[in-house]
Amino acid sequence: MPNKTNPLPSDGTNIKNEFESVHESQSTESDIAHVEISVETLAEQKVAPPPLHSAELLANVSSLPGLPGVYRYFDADGQLLYVGKANNLKKRVSSYFNRSHDGTRTGHMVSKIVKLETTVVRSEAEALLLENNLIKTQKPRYNILFRDDKSYPYLKMTRFVKVDERQSQDALGHPNPKLIPRMVYYRGAVDKNHDYFGPYPSVWAVREAIELLQKIFRLRTCEDTVFRNRTRPCLMHQIKRCSGPCVGKISVDDYQLNVSHAAKLLHGETQGVMKSLETRMMMHSDKLEFELAAELRNQLSALSKVLHQQAVDTVDDRDVDILAVVTHGGRACVNLAMVRGGRHLGDRPYFPSHVEQAAHSEILEAFVSQHYLEIPPPATLILNYPIDKELIRILSEQTGIKINTIHQPKEQRRTWLEMALENANLQLSRLLAEEGSQQARTRALIEAIDLAPEDLDQFRIECFDISHTSGEATQASCVVFHHHKMQPSEYRRYNIEGITGGDDYAAMKQVLSRRYSKLSELVRAGEAKFPDLVLIDGGKGQVSMAREVFESLDLDLSRIVGVEKGEGRKVGLEDLVFADGREKVYLGKDSAALMLVAQIRDEAHRFAITGMRAKRAKVRIGASKIEDIPGIGPKKRAKLLQRFGGVRGVADASAQDLMTVEGISAELAQAIYLALR
């Protein structure tokens, strides 16, 4: 099938005979020989002159097999330009070289191709999988790219576990937690040991679902360790958010029935749940069990209110994804709205890159192919533009889910799509406004410190900060600002050692030496690019340390700028201090340049202090973790944590206290006591 990840040509015929004849006549010449086709011949065929490519490249194209596979284009520097898939590699790849693409993004890409690599696979489904893996890992310049987002959150419900009757209760008469499922927010890989509902578009949507089930069915959310040690009902029971199974306020069978109803509600089986609750309510009423009947009446009332608010009782769809794409100003937004169990859970925007001249359908196809290979797709996709049916067929084959697509919905589905489209426009407008503001800040900073970068969009800033508590657990942070935004994936932390505690100057000198001694070697080898600006959180002292490091490495001092706190350390009164001898500069509290500097400086401070606190906490509980102590396995570790309420409690316990835990001998207790001090 045609690859529509980008506005690229569809499958065409093989390379023209003129290409092959010229190649045969020049096969003995050097590899840099180029194909030449007469203008007259091309005019007769009504074909525009194609870009010139080496005979070796065209020979590789003509020798490709007519099999499914993945192809990759590279430029003269070996950079990956594009990754595509094809049902017939020969026809698909040939179509790039025997057609004119003048004035288009595709034509610009084709003119740069000097090398071709292909991988033959067994089916189109395998080609789709390989293509998207390569796109996500290699990030080609001409593919539409959706950034890897965090995994979607789920609502996790632990399953019933059959236990022996002797184990159904503990010595205090508490039910075994394995018989009392709990619901919890979860993010990560799903397994077959528990039930997972979702995915949800946001944490807020999961929290809302959990709160809903607490109100209606009063299911527990507490940890098993808390459940086992309750002697009286907790606050959640008192505010009618939990039925109190830990202290026998509800029978195990009744609780498990509520869990079953909650699962059905999440699956959209609302009418069945309401009918079951009504039947049970009438049964208790007939038996004159009015308190139990009243509880069920309250559940029905709460459930009816929720159904009325969500209007799910009039909707047949249970699991649907709604995709709306809009483009403006060279940017695009794909808004994904989710309906699960008949309830609209909210939406999430995605902003792809490399979408210049891309059609709306092609952007949607790129999203569908990249997104649903990792996230299980629902049975129905509602879109505002049609996409290739062959792509859906391959995706269905790969995921094992029969997918139906609708791009002209009616009634409730149309309402959902209109909502998604409106949100897509709002999110894209906000993005463009933020990017314009951030670009203005970047430009203002460049002008304020008199820099002349080659490319404003490539302007890169690295900022350093030192954090410690009275000299303890000293850490340095390096945060990166690039492409007009912070780049968390490029942040780095450095443990500072071998200095006097609290010596910020020595710490700054150490981190800059470690960072730029290695980077300068890579820059000289042409394997990396030096930052355009190095921000130092500090005044003259820290800047002088940076100057020493840069002078020793023969680096440009004009790149170093210190952020010196103003009078009273008030925000907005900072001065910029330069390492190359220039006078200090005060930007003004309303300056766009100072706003950017403060943003980067504050992020460096936040990143440094969070790392320092984590390191300090680790140091204060001892160099060894409990699980690192010889003789301590997972079971003994769990018993220790349960007995003393956490690592801090274990560290504070005496050897005699540790010996009270089952399985902890006198020798092992002494080893634990010493290891955590």
The domain that holds 597 is classified in CATH as: 3.30.420.340
- How far apart are alpha carbons 604 and 540 in whole angstroms? 19
Q: Read off the tokens for 196.
A: 């997972």
Count of other CB atoms within 10 angstroms of residue 521: 12
Asked if residue 422 and residue 514 are part of one domain, the reply reads: no
**DSSP class of residue 558?**
G
Average pLDDT over residues 497-517: 89
CATH of residue 632: 1.10.150.20
Rg from Cα positions in the chain: 32
What's residue 28's pLDDT? 38
- How far apart are alpha carbons 513 and 520 in whole angstroms? 10
Q: What digits encode the pLDDT tens for the residues 226-276?
A: 887 788 888 888 888 898 888 888 888 888 888 888 888 887 777 777 777
Please choose, from the candidates 186, 166, 191, the residue with its C-alpha nearest in 3D space to the C-alpha of residue 176: 166
Q: List strands edge to edge, sheet with 80-86.
A: 80-86, 69-74, 115-120
For 165, list phi and psi in degrees, rounded to 5.
Answer: -60, -30
Q: Is the pLDDT of residue 429 over 80?
A: yes
Per-residue confidence at 460, pLDDT binned at 50, 70, 90? very high
What's residue 213's pLDDT? 84
Higher model confidence: residue 664 or residue 309? 664
CATH of residue 48: 3.40.1440.10
List all residues 6 or more positions away from 421 whose beta carbon is below 8 Å from its beta carbon. Answer: 324, 326, 335, 384
Asked if residue 608 and residue 558 are part of one domain, the reply reads: yes
Residue 402: which domain range?
Answer: 320-430
- How far apart are alpha carbons 594 and 579 in whole angstroms? 18
To the nearest 10°, report the CA torsion of 647, 653, 655, 656.
Answer: -130
Task: Tell me the pLDDT of the chain averaged across its residues.
Answer: 80
Q: Is the pLDDT of residue 620 over 60?
A: no
Q: What digits encode the pLDDT tens for the residues 155-199?
A: 888 887 766 555 666 555 667 778 888 888 888 777 788 888 878
Work out how many domains the chain is built from and give that number: 5
Contact 629, 675 (CB under 8 A): yes
Asked if residue 203 and residue 127 are part of one domain, the reply reads: no
β-bridge mates for residue 465, sequence order: 477
What's residue 339's pLDDT? 87
Q: Does 445 map to a domain?
A: no
- How far apart are alpha carbons 52 and 36 in whole angstroms? 8
Asked if residue 609 and residue 634 are part of one domain, the reply reads: no
Asked if residue 165 and residue 120 are part of one domain, the reply reads: no
What's residue 309's pLDDT? 47
Q: Is the pLDDT of residue 609 over 70?
A: yes
- How far apart are alpha carbons 460 and 532 in whole angstroms? 5
Q: Read off the tokens for 635.
A: 């079971």
Q: Does 299 map to a domain?
A: no
Q: Quick one: what percent of the chain has pLDDT higher than 70?
A: 84
Q: Does 65 map to a domain?
A: yes
Asked if residue 614 and residue 633 are part of one domain, the reply reads: no
Encoded amino acid at 254, one letter: D
Average pLDDT over residues 406-430: 91
Contact 302, 216 (CB under 8 A): yes
Asked if residue 608 and residue 636 are part of one domain, the reply reads: no
End-of-domain residue from the set 572, 602, 619: 619
What's residue 303's pLDDT? 67
Highest mean pLDDT among 39-43, 316-320, 460-464: 460-464
End-of-domain residue from the set 96, 113, 138: 138
- The distance in angstroms from the start CA to the end CA of the chain is 65
Per-residue confidence at 336, pLDDT binned at 50, 70, 90? very high
Per-residue confidence at 60, pLDDT binned at 50, 70, 90? confident
End-of-domain residue from the set 583, 598, 619: 619
Q: Does 230 map to a domain?
A: yes
What is the pTM for the complete model shown? 0.62
Asked if residue 608 and residue 539 are part of one domain, the reply reads: yes
- How far apart are alpha carbons 541 and 505 in whole angstroms? 7
Q: Does 566 map to a domain?
A: yes
Taking every pair of Cα atoms in the chain, the longest distance, rounded to a whole number of angstroms, is 101
Asked if residue 606 and residue 560 are part of one domain, the reply reads: yes
Q: Does 117 map to a domain?
A: yes
Per-residue confidence at 304, pLDDT binned at 50, 70, 90? low
Kindly report each contact of residues 403-407 with a partner whose C-beta sits within 8 Å and lies 24 or more positions away, as own/partner.
Answer: 403/377, 403/378, 403/379, 404/379, 404/380, 405/380, 405/381, 406/380, 406/381, 406/382, 407/382, 407/383
Average pLDDT over residues 492-500: 87
Kindly report whether the peptide bond that precedes residue 2 is cis, defined as omega within 30 degrees of 0: no
Q: Does 309 map to a domain?
A: no
Asked if residue 615 and residue 642 are part of one domain, the reply reads: no
Count of other CB atoms within 10 angstroms of residue 518: 11
Q: Does 158 map to a domain?
A: yes
Please choose, from the candidates 332, 217, 333, 327, the residue with its C-alpha nearest in 3D space to the C-alpha of residue 266: 217
- How far apart are alpha carbons 229 and 217 in whole angstroms? 23
At 430 the three-state DSSP class reads helix
Q: Quick one: what percent of the chain has pLDDT higher than 90?
A: 17
Write out 362-401 in H/E/C secondary structure.
HHHHHHHHHHCCCCCCCCEEEECCCCCHHHHHHHHHHHCC
Asked if residue 131 and residue 191 are part of one domain, the reply reads: no
Asked if residue 496 and residue 606 are part of one domain, the reply reads: yes
Average pLDDT over residues 36-44: 41
Per-residue confidence at 358, pLDDT binned at 50, 70, 90? confident
Q: Read off the tokens for 397.
A: 């084959």
